[in-house]
Structure 1
Amino acid sequence: MRRTPWNIFFHVLVGLEVCVLSHPDPAMVGRCGVVIDETARTLVLRDKSGKVFRVTKRDAIFEFRVGRVSVIAEGELIVGRVEERLKRLEKGRGLVVRYVLREGRWYTRVEAPGENV
């Protein structure tokens, strides 16, 4: 199945472009790269200069690029391995996809049900 803005969190994130929009460690904010590895709690990114760095998922907000679309997601939604994310969906947590206009661009925002935007 092809990765789309609606289903990327149920696939392996390796190969996607990502930017860190918010993170408890201020040094991580604004860092961008391609996901080269994913663990249950971290993403390993390679930036354009070739430098590799590890970013924790929890308490962060990420902007993933899927084709020409940006997907903004809280790290809490992607914590765990792919199998664990699928199990959370099956248990009824599901995800809600909303379109958000931010700074003149449309983004897809993925959130847990019941969140207020």
Structure 2
Amino acid sequence: VREQVREAHAALRALAPRIADPALRAELLEVCGLLAPRSRVPGPVLAPRELDVLSWVAAGATNALAAERLGVRAETVKGYLRSAMRKLGAHTRGEAVAAARRAGVLP
């Protein structure tokens, strides 16, 4: 069940940028927040695309698959992932996902 929640979270975050209506997009991102409530422990602020990439990585996606789902190039995914890892103090993809979960930004 947790994996399904994580995949749903990633899919919703990937869908949000394609919604033209700002109110509807904000509502969708608010629903994403229900799936990953923020921790009370202050942590780094991730850019929306960094969070999108981490969502797909957490769901087990390769850079290529995450790129396909997000409509960007694999090199772009690598850049966002590298930036998120730096902010989270992580050295691997797995460490980045674990740190993001501890911070409450991923389910």
TM range (shorter): under 0.3
Q: TM-score, normalised by structure 2?
A: 0.26
TM-score by length of 1: 0.25
- Say which structure, 1 or 2, has more relative contact order (CA 8 Å, 6+ apart): 2
Greater share of residues in helix: 2
Higher strand proportion (structure 1 or 2): 1
- In our comparison, the structure showing a higher alpha carbon Rg is 1
